């Protein structure tokens, strides 16, 4: 009888793990278990009354690097090439990004000329930050905070304005707490391999396998900065679900897992609300804190480690304005914590993907709120009402972009995001514990590696490879 692998969590990581398991030459029996009634996790696209697409989670995927290429390959394997909406290299959404500092929008410099000129809010040309990077010795610590890394290599201004904003916009986190090795592995690796971020990024991380497809070649030729899908990014998890079903994978939705226990013969018993499953191996793609509460006594040290991986709240507010115009054209803007404790950034969705504006075109924006303001309110036990979050988002759109009319459409959602503190050793120690105990459990998902869609898909792929290989926990 063949092996049974149960995958916990039907977000993009769990779907990807199931997909790569199902495509093995001799695939195991795969059962995907999702607690909620829908698949896709954070990836969720909602259609407005006029057909406009509102993304409640990620809105674009980067095609860069080996991971970006692998996701494009997946898109082609699922037959979604014709649905892809690219943002080409010459597009304003690819070229222009802004910082909101001192009550004004400032374009981030791009190209060689941009680096040589003074560019507010920075007091001197970024050329000097580049020179500092080229002359700074390699760091000796195995990991450090993003702020410490950026200050050491690029100077205090880049650390407190650019990297602070980036950490807030991407991770809804504090650059003084987040791990450089976990959050920006390419920057960490560039310093380790080439002693410089700039040299590392210019020379590349090494000779990885070159993936190839018509879509990958097109993305490289047209220098895509990001891409989406015509019906929204949720098309991807939906296509994965259809593919899994066609390959005989059992997909259980609305089935929260109540507990995990090890049987005498080393198999797992997965307890659901009114039934149970048996598995030879489990891939967990649910949040670390959720898994920590399900693990049996044999895995108590792992449960303790996983329970320390925390999450913060971030509010995503989608706004649509009829007949409105932006003061600038670009991808969007980020806001450093020194400027506004509430707003993390605003993405100008209509600039990148006008095809998703609907039949009565209106300007679509996404305002992200979080940071210390949200944490303080939650710590005080305040109820974060949709009205309060909408009010703050509309105020930011008015103050920062001059959009003073009320929006014609608004959606408010609160998400929990994993905070990647100095976690590298935590994920390493978890892997070592699983290997030492020979536990048939593999960890995947945003709790352990990166939080971007490409990272989650790769995390699922690697988990599947470990299960299919001879060393399941290596």
Task: Output the pLDDT for position 471.
Answer: 41
Which of the 8 DSSP states describes residue 11? Answer: B
H-type alpha helices, 209-353: 214-221, 235-246, 288-294, 300-307, 349-352
Token pair 């278990």 in the structure block, residue:
33
Please tell me the total number of residues recorded for the chain in this structure. Answer: 474
Residue pair 279/5 in contact by the 8 Å Cβ criterion? yes
Instruction: Give the domain ranges of the chain.
Output: 4-43+231-309+422-468
pLDDT in tens, the chain (474 residues): 579 999 999 999 999 999 999 999 999 999 999 999 999 999 999 999 899 999 999 999 999 889 999 999 999 999 999 999 999 999 999 999 999 999 999 998 876 566 667 778 887 888 778 888 888 988 888 888 899 999 999 999 888 888 888 888 877 778 888 888 878 878 888 898 888 988 887 776 454 567 889 999 999 999 999 999 999 999 999 999 999 999 999 999 999 999 999 998 889 999 999 999 999 999 999 998 899 999 998 898 889 888 877 777 889 999 999 989 999 999 999 999 889 889 999 999 999 999 999 988 789 999 999 877 888 888 888 888 899 999 999 999 999 999 999 999 999 998 877 665 544 445 666 777 887 788 899 999 988 777 889 999 999 999 999 999 844 333
Quote the tokens at residue 174. 């504090």
DSSP category for residue 340: -
Of the options 3.50.40.10, 3.40.50.10420, 3.50.50.60, 3.40.630.10, the CATH number for the domain spanning 4-43+231-309+422-468: 3.50.50.60
Q: Which residues pair with 4 in a beta bridge?
A: 29
Closest CA to 335 of 161, 170, 97, 150: 161
For every residue of 57-107, DSSP letters joined together read: S---B---HHHHHHHHHHHHHTT-GGGEEEE-TTSHHHH--EEEETTEEEE
Q: How far apart are CA 377 and CA 217, in angstroms?
A: 48
Q: What is the pLDDT of residue 208?
A: 54
Q: In the prediction, which pLDDT does 161 show?
A: 85
pTM, full prediction? 0.89
> Which H helix or E strand runs over 317?
strand 311-322
The pLDDT score that the predictor gives to residue 421 is 52
Bridging pattern class, strands 257-262 and 268-272? antiparallel
């Amino acid at each position: 009888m063949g092996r049974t692998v149960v995958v916990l969590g039907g977000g993009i990581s769990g779907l990807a793990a199931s997909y790569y398991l199902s495509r093995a030459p001799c695939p195991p029996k795969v059962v995907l278990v999702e607690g909620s009634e829908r698949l896709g996790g954070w990836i969720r696209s909602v259609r407005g009354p006029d057909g406009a697409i509102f993304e409640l989670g990620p809105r674009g995927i980067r095609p860069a690097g080996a991971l970006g290429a692998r996701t494009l390959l997946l898109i082609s394997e699922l037959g979604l090439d014709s649905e892809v909406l690219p943002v080409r290299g010459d597009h304003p959404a690819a070229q222009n990004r802004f910082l909101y500092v001192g009550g004004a929008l400032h374009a981030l410099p791009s190209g060689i000329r941009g680096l040589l000129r003074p560019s507010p809010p920075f007091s001197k040309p970024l050329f000097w930050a580049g020179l500092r990077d080229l002359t700074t010795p390699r760091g000796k610590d195995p990991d450090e905070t993003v702020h410490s890394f950026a200050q050491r290599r690029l100077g205090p201004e880049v650390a407190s304005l650019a990297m602070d904003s980036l950490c807030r916009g991407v991770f809804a986190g504090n650059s003084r707490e987040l791990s450089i090795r976990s959050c920006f592995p390419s920057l960490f690796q560039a310093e380790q391999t080439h002693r410089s971020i700039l040299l590392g990024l210019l020379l590349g991380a090494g000779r990885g396998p070159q993936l190839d497809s018509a879509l990958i070649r097109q993305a490289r030729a047209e220098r895509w900065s990001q891409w989406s899908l015509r019906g929204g990014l949720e098309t991807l998890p939906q296509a994965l679900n259809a593919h899994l079903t066609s390959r005989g994978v059992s997909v259980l939705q609305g089935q929260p897992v109540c507990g995990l226990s090890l049987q005498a013969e080393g198999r797992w018993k997965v307890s659901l609300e009114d039934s149970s499953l048996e598995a030879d191996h489990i891939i967990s793609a649910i949040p670390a804190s959720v898994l920590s509460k399900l693990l049996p006594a044999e895995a108590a040290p792992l449960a303790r480690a996983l329970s320390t991986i925390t999450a913060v709240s971030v509010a995503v507010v989608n706004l649509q304005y009829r007949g409105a115009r932006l003061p600038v054209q670009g991808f969007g803007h980020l806001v450093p914590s020194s400027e506004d404790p509430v707003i993390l950034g605003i993405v100008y969705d209509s600039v990148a993907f006008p095809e998703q504006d609907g039949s009565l075109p209106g300007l679509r924006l996404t305002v992200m709120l979080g940071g210390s303001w949200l944490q303080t309110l939650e710590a005080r036990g305040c109820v974060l009402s949709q009205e309060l979050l909408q009010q703050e988002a509309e105020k930011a759109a008015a103050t920062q972009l001059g959009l003073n009319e009320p929006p014609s459409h608004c959606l408010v959602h609160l998400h929990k995001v994993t905070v990647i503190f100095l976690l590298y050793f935590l994920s390493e120690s978890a892997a070592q514990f699983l290997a030492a105990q020979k536990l048939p459990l593999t960890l995947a998902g945003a709790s352990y590696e990166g939080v971007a869609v490409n990272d989650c898909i790769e995390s699922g792929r690697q988990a599947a490879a470990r299960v299919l290989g001879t060393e399941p926990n290596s």
